[in-house]
Structure 1
């Protein structure tokens, strides 16, 4: 059976003007993963969403891998959902980034405060009760991710594949393969670590999730590298 290695991107730059880039820790997470993959995996193809953090994660992995990997092919279907739109539909005032930063700074742990609001915003989006508020509904997001998965399986025709994507698509793929509820998909999304690896096995029509959210490469090198946002 062939294997798809689903990698969540390295830590992005939370609180910065450009969130869609890796933080210094995110770059190091990618290099650590590359070193861990070297000698274990030789992908025939590399795919990713067309976001900056997806591309930079592949660059970091390649640096640690120590040899050239196939050029990353961008697939829009592997992009994350618009998480800020989802949050803003719950907290419209946070469309003003300075207001959001100010509000979060009032909490002892701003990242935790954001996570709590994010989880409420996700539940609102997934409920289906407010679909007209969103550019992309939850069912539409799920459909495009699964379509992208099937397209890259067909394209690679049996070869092992490395995919740089985000927590949302990974949780949707896991949900699809394990036939889980939307609530369980949200719970899975909340625990996917940066540069964690999930493995999908496929052969003909068969698809199975063999590994979910493995970040032992980070724990082995430096537990402080383990992040979830």
Structure 2
């Protein structure tokens, strides 16, 4: 039976000019995951990244903690099918102020609880994207994104009964794959995406033509090895 470990990237740089970079804490989260795997003598025969900088940074930092011979023997693949949806575009189409960082921060600052206000804005933006009434506004529609994610997973289908694959990707991709495997509704994808921790792991078991969920959103490595505050969601 094959194993597929879907890793959400470490904390990125939300609010910075370039979001697609790990924060200092994001690098630490990736190191902790690597130490967890090294301690458990977990090896990987295939490493897949979704093509974004934060995916590769998480992969490089995590797997640097594993024994070097094992890392060198792994088959590294970049598959854009595991790239995240364009959250910038999704937010911008719902909230034009998002185009101006100063204006967007001022918008959030008018609320008593800015993080909660951001959550509500993001949920509404996701509903607009997923609803299907404004598909012409987006470079990639929700159905297209969903098909892309499922196709990427299916490319991991293999006849090998023991191969372990680790995939460094994003929360939207993982949530969408859970919808595919568990038959979730669109709104449940949004809810799940909001609760996946940075550098958490979702494990699938794989037989030819079949994927089964083993566990979801495991971040025990951050709780066990990390300092207070090591578990983040944004």
Normalising by structure 1, we get a TM-score of 0.93
1:170-209 to structure 2, matched below 5 A, reads 170-209=174-213
Q: Please report how far the alpha carbon of residue 99 of structure 1 lies from its aligned counterpart in structure 2 after TM superposition.
A: 1.8
Taking a change above 3 Å as real, the CA distance of residues 66 and 112 of structure 1, as seen in their structure-2 partners, is farther
Q: Please report how far the alpha carbon of residue 66 of structure 1 lies from its aligned counterpart in structure 2 after TM superposition.
A: 4.7
The aligned residue for residue 9 of structure 2 is: 9
1:115 aligns with 2:116: no
Q: Please report how far the alpha carbon of residue 185 of structure 1 lies from its aligned counterpart in structure 2 after TM superposition.
A: 1.4
Q: Structure 1: any 5+ residue segments left out of the alignment?
A: none
Normalising by structure 2, we get a TM-score of 0.91
The aligned residue for residue 30 of structure 2 is: 30
Per-residue CA distance 1:140-182 (angstroms, 9 max, x = gap): 000000001111224x844110000000110011111111111
Does structure 2 conserve the Cα–Cα contact (< 8 Å) formed by 1:89 and 1:133? yes
Distance 2:189 2:176 in 1: 6
Say how many residue pairs are matched. 228
Does structure 2 conserve the Cα–Cα contact (< 8 Å) formed by 1:58 and 1:72? no
The aligned residue for residue 126 of structure 1 is: 130
Q: Please report how far the alpha carbon of residue 106 of structure 1 lies from its aligned counterpart in structure 2 after TM superposition.
A: 4.3
Q: Please report how far the alpha carbon of residue 26 of structure 1 lies from its aligned counterpart in structure 2 after TM superposition.
A: 0.2
Greater mean alpha carbon deviation, residues 178-187 or residues 162-171: 178-187
Does structure 1 conserve the Cα–Cα contact (< 8 Å) formed by 2:45 and 2:75? no
1:91-170 to structure 2, matched below 5 A, reads 91-107=95-111, 109-154=113-158, 157-158=160-161, 159-170=163-174
Per-residue CA distance 1:109-162 (angstroms, 9 max, x = gap): 5443322211111111111121111111111000000001111224x8441100
Distance 1:153 1:41 in 2: 20
- Tell me, what secondary structure is at the counterpart of 1:18? coil
Q: Please report how far the alpha carbon of residue 108 of structure 1 lies from its aligned counterpart in structure 2 after TM superposition.
A: 5.4
